[in-house]
Amino acid sequence: MERAPRIAMLSVHTSPLEQPGTGDAGGMNVYVLELSRALAARGARVEIFTRATSSDLPENVVLPGVEADGTPLTIEDSPERVRDVLTACDVPAGVVPPVVVHHVPAGPFERLDKNDLPGVLCGMAAGVLRWEAARRPGWYDVVHSHYWLSGQVGAIAADRWEVPLVHTAHTLAKVKNASLAPGDKPEPPARVLGEEQVVADADALVASTPAEAAELVELYGADPARVHVVEPGVDLERFAPVPPAERAAARAALGLPADRDVVLFAGRVQPLKAPDVLVRALGVLRETGRRVPLLVVLGGPSGRSTAVRELEALAEITGVGDSLVVRPPAARDELASWYHAADLVAMPSRSESFGLVAAEAQAAGVPVVAAAVGGLRSIVDDGVSGMLVRGHDPRRWAGVLADTLADRDRLAEFGTAARRSAERFGWESAADQLLKVYAVAREARGARAQG
């Protein structure tokens, strides 16, 4: 591709505009939005298609771009200019085009369970295809789908438009089913079949880590030549270390005690993320007479509406109800303050393709104690920027948390190393690598068409 591509970015089951940390919104939402902005900064025109979940949502949301002279390019201030940039064949030099989010009606607006969404994929595909039909033929250069539901729609669009399909799985059913929490429901066979179809159809598969790349090849039979490792980025400016005085101020502003260790869990409250392991670990510390830190859970229920109440009930039963604080998911700027207020961030996930929270926390100079699974093994440098814990035994977690918090000098060393480790992640680098993947996918698509 000689010019910056026009990209149809598909995020069917969750909008990148939704607040991460509850329902189906998580790291993937941040990934799609930040990647799209970074691609736009390189001149690409990115349109994100997501399913409309309310009749109140606008048909389109236009996220600001930047003019060549550095002034914002917004729909409110210059609608004609935005239209010209979005519809021109080539973006003017130095201009960062706006990113457009399309809310596509497909099925009932009422919130559907993720497992019900395959029934509305035909409607979603039809809605996406209508957008291209309203443009000149050959408008889009590439389809980039996120999660298997988007991959199903993306395969139809890519075939219709005769453009490459690039797919990022974010999570894989076979990996999740191999590491289920006790009592958790496995992913249905329909999802496994759907993922296998997308892996076979995609011209390029994007994995966040070498471990995920290996899983695509070993568990799904992906062609290794089509699998590309592109590490996600981190907003290194928003999530940056601050002096001790600012950390103390952040803790005070958030209403946290100044004289108590604080462990932060940021994510959806669900068995996959395993916050219950942390609550049980606090119970072990209480039983053994060791110091019990304050556990702050920053997130909302996912899967079951009662998930938060169940976690709070577990804390009461375990005798650590006064050591658990649950707060709603935080906006990005506020999230940085929560990282700064914590002594460490804990991620006991049973499966993680990457683990954006761990990367963000480390960027903020905060050590991470994480389960030794998936992408977390690539982010956390064990014994250098934090600690990796094998398994989910609460007693083991209690020991690691207590020992890490007790050694303040080592904790400070972890924080310094954490920032250094996180600096290798950047959305700019991710966008540059993705543009190369798009070009390779286009060549692969052409070769498949010819032979």
Nearest-angstrom CA–CA distance, 265 and 298: 6
Q: What is the rounded CA–CA span in Å between residue 198 and residue 147?
A: 10
Nearest to 417 by CA among 361, 371, 357: 361
Strand partners, 49: 10, 102
- 147 appears as a binding residue in the annotation: yes
124 among annotated binding-site residues: no
- What's the distance, CA 222 to chain centroid? 23
> Has 28 been labeled as part of a binding site?
yes
Strand ranges of the sheet holding 165-168, from the earlier edge strand across to the other edge? 60-63, 99-104, 45-51, 6-10, 142-146, 165-168, 204-207, 227-229
* Residue 207 is labelled as binding a ligand: no
Distance in angstroms (rounded) separating the CA atoms of residues 263 and 275: 11
Confirm whether residue 13 is marked as ligand binding.
yes
d(CA 420, CA 121): 43
Place of tokens 């005085």: 245
Does the annotation list 360 as a binding residue?
yes
Task: Provide the phi-psi class of 214: left if phi over 0, else alpha when psi is between -120 and 50, else beta.
Answer: alpha
CA dihedral 35, 269, 13, 351 (to 10 degrees): 70
Q: Name the token pair of 278.
A: 């942390």
Q: Is 304 annotated as a binding residue?
A: no
114 in a labelled binding site: yes
* Residue 173 marked as a ligand binder: no
As a dihedral over the C-alpha atoms of residue 175, residue 371, residue 18, residue 35, rounded to 10 degrees, the angle is -80
CA-wise closest residue to 326 among 292, 293, 298, 294: 298
Residue 438, annotated as binding a ligand: no
Consult the annotation and say whether 352 binds a ligand.
yes
Which of these, 93, 92, 116, 94, lies nearest to 106 by C-alpha position? Answer: 116
Q: Is 29 annotated as a binding residue?
A: yes
- Does 19 carry a binding-site annotation? yes
Q: Flag whether 220 is marked binding.
A: no
One-letter amino acid at 117 equals L
Tell me whether residue 171 is annotated as binding.
Answer: yes
Q: Residue 167, Cα to own-chain centre: how many angstroms?
A: 15
Annotated binding site for Mg(2+): 339-340, 342
Annotated binding site for UDP-N-acetyl-alpha-D-glucosamine: 19-20, 27, 268, 273, 352, 360
Annotated binding site: 13, 19-20, 24-29, 114, 147, 171, 191, 268, 273, 339-340, 342, 352, 360
Annotated binding site for 1D-myo-inositol 3-phosphate: 13, 24-29, 114, 147, 171, 191
